[in-house]
Structure 1
């Protein structure tokens, strides 16, 4: 009996220590995310004002990125793959040099018009810093717990959705299993990172959806159909990205590969409405949720953003997938709303969350994303749609290192 109490006391002390240590980790990661995010927004505004001067230079920017990773990066070019390998114990550490490389590479990608996201940067930065700290602490298994904690802090610091960030980090390493050992530090780190980045001027994107949808037999069928469509698109994105990366790798020299694909991308991005599909895709999200019935969204917007993001990331440009997935889902939602006879802004919001879930093979995080960004009044609708998307995505994920329980 005394041994049982001793073990329980030790476990609770470890949990408390991890929770306390998550706070400074979250503050540090939140500060870096604020810097990264605010510079990225300024870069986006500058590029949008000068598309014809900047987008034609995308190939040159790509060569600089590829050269920097080849010269200084060692194995950091694997990005999220390296983070997942460390989380699964296949690699011992994430080199700190990843932080400046991923930040600089992403800024260059967006300055010159690459269709990419930003969450991969924040998650990698958080994981790198927190895992490094965790390995220095005299706490059993602290390194892996802090890896998850750092992923949560990075996501929360950038998007300022601490609940979704915490759950995302807990469920993304192994689909179907939550890393409860890291719950305490992930929760404290998420809130600390979100509050810090907010205090440093990084605004949270949120659009309260006033219209609510009653759950009836008819609406359940409509939501399930929408969720299945979102899940299939998310799964297709993950499959296409993996396939495109394999095909692009046939050009063995990364500098030549990124130069050729970057030059093609420049032409296509300018030809398609002068950079409408460049960068994060927040312009499509704003158009889908503008409150005018999606009048500013073209039927083909989601397919164009889908294809150009896949090609950009397959070429080797830096960033992430999540914000483009948000824009793909929101613009697809406008199209599906007309087909299903549902409120446009609501279905756009549902797509925003569910395509992200379908592409990352996560269930709880997209539900909470929907609540934290659009309000919790429609939480049942987000649950139904995200659950349907999760069930049909084919167990595919944009993260090749994700395991299945």
Structure 2
């Protein structure tokens, strides 16, 4: 990283009040994350139980999604792009209507079989309320700091990985730079959000790995090789997403035609490919990867392509959980090739593809620790460091900027 960014002159008393704001943010955002996450899981289960009732109507659901955004979205239609614009002082306000809009349209995407994630929604929820608190409290000069607190709360409330959530919020907005003045208030917001969502019944995904390996030269080479492969796959995802969005908008400028025609084609593909195996979050592939169930050698590729197509057409949702699924299922394929335990390689893939696609280093390592156990951090660090370093021009977040030297 090029540097650590600290806002000078944040008095201790202000830090205390920011932490109090973090508690309120954590409870509020954690509660909304729970409603969003539990409903999403219910709708996903409903679709998986009756794929032929829902997936054929993906294109028509897309029409409604497009109508809602064009009729009510306004500047909120920019989604994560607006979060980056506000953080870079190119915009001042994230409208509150973004929250119900992104939640409802993401529910629709998943119910009708689109391949998408959920973290983007959680981060946008947190950022929206962080921006709101920053504008309407006596701490307006810390509005960017409070925005980061909200993002950390959103990520932590959904995934219940508060340490990783804080680091993600600190490093994702400006590459190669950390805003450490937001560290303690963001920790408070993230932990409160994670505790709130857990208390309200949102379950955390975790797979404790017990790996007994010696970090020698052979293992180091194996980890570097895995980091390289996963890094290239993460960059492939980010590059493909950017290129496909651009091409689709050129080929079909009308968003209604684009999403309905593309959705109809996608729904046919989803049904032909094992009746929705690649629809939704990809948690089925993650569970198969760590549960000893069948993982096909091309699962990761189909999940990558279909997620890129879903999001490029205009359906709503995030990218992170599909990235987890892509990495985990590819790990099952690579494990016998490199001669390492399947669970370990899938765990490395789970975080390393995410690292490469988002241009984040610390957050993925700590996701690995919080999900798979901190006893494996040495393995995660080596692989993620390589994945992070691979061709860092591309990111799923197109408005990321390089920090000051």
Tell me, yes or no, whether TM beats 0.5.
yes
Tell me the residue number matched to 1:3: none
Q: Secondary structure at the match of 1:249?
A: helix
Q: Secondary structure at the match of 2:120?
A: helix
Q: What's the CA shift for 1:182?
A: 1.5
Tell me the residue number matched to 1:326: 324
Task: List gaps (5 residues or longer) in structure 2.
Answer: 1-6
Q: How big is each residue's C-alpha offset from its partner over 1:344-396, in whole Å with a ceiling of 9 and x where there is no partner?
A: 01100110011001100000000000000000111100000100100114332
Tell me the residue number matched to 1:347: 345
Checking the alignment, whether the CA contact within 8 Å between 1:33 and 1:157 is kept in structure 2 is yes
Q: How big is each residue's C-alpha offset from its partner over 1:34-61, in whole Å with a ceiling of 9 and x where there is no partner?
A: 0000000000110000101100000010
Q: Partners in 1 of 2:91 and 2:247 — Cα distance?
A: 26
Check 1:345–1:166 CA distance in 2 against 1; reply closer, same or farther (3 A cut): same
Q: What's the CA shift for 1:138?
A: 1.0
Q: How does 1:50-199 map to 2 (within 5 A)?
A: 50-199=50-199
Q: Partners in 2 of 1:261 and 1:140 — Cα distance?
A: 43
TM-score, with length taken from structure 1: 0.96
Segments of 4+ in structure 1 off by > 6 A? none
Q: How does 1:10-49 map to 2 (within 5 A)?
A: 11-49=11-49
Q: Partners in 2 of 1:357 and 1:33 — Cα distance?
A: 23
Q: Partners in 2 of 1:9 and 1:147 — Cα distance?
A: 18
Q: How big is each residue's C-alpha offset from its partner over 1:243-280, in whole Å with a ceiling of 9 and x where there is no partner?
A: 01001112121111110110110010001011000000
Checking the alignment, whether the CA contact within 8 Å between 2:134 and 2:140 is kept in structure 1 is no
Tell me the residue number matched to 2:383: 385
Checking the alignment, whether the CA contact within 8 Å between 1:360 and 1:398 is kept in structure 2 is yes
Checking the alignment, whether the CA contact within 8 Å between 1:361 and 1:393 is kept in structure 2 is no
Tell me the residue number matched to 2:256: 255
Checking the alignment, whether the CA contact within 8 Å between 1:234 and 1:393 is kept in structure 2 is no
Q: How big is each residue's C-alpha offset from its partner over 1:131-168, in whole Å with a ceiling of 9 and x where there is no partner?
A: 10111111252211111111100000000000000000
Q: What's the CA shift for 1:105?
A: 0.2
Q: What's the CA shift for 1:9?
A: 8.1
Q: Partners in 1 of 2:20 and 2:227 — Cα distance?
A: 39
The alignment covers a number of residue pairs equal to 396
Tell me the residue number matched to 1:4: none
Deviates more, 1:147-156 or 1:9-18: 9-18
Q: Secondary structure at the match of 2:11?
A: helix
Check 1:74–1:140 CA distance in 2 against 1; reply closer, same or farther (3 A cut): closer
Q: Secondary structure at the match of 2:177?
A: coil
Task: List gaps (5 residues or longer) in structure 1.
Answer: 1-6
